Amino acid sequence: MSAAAGGEGETVRASHILIKHQGSRRKASWKDPDGRIISATTRADAAARLLDLRNQILSGQANFADLAARHSDCSSARRGGDLGTFGRKQMQKPFEDATYALKVGELSEIVDTDSGVHIILRTA
């Protein structure tokens, strides 16, 4: 199967930026260990921040990995958002579906999961 088709045994590699919000299942992160900021952030505010970051990346004003390192609530921030290689059923379903739908080098729209809101860059 082609990479875009996302066959059962196929793996992908992706980086992401996660912004947690009050609806996130775990309201703490490396940036906000007590969850004070996350608990006060609405989904709409988190999505607006993420859209701003996405626009900076698409316009060439900023580098994905640099923004991930500074803004992502995921511990992958220290790797520029890199999640490494993963296959089917290893990530939350909306995240998996969005990643497999992307072409290599393509940046997703906002993706909602139980963790928060993400933008995903498929890298392989």
Active site residues: 16, 74, 92, 115, 118
CA 76 remoteness from chain centre: 10
Strand partners, 122: 14
Q: Output the DSSP codes for 91-118.
A: S-HHHHHHHHHSPTT-B---EEETTEEE
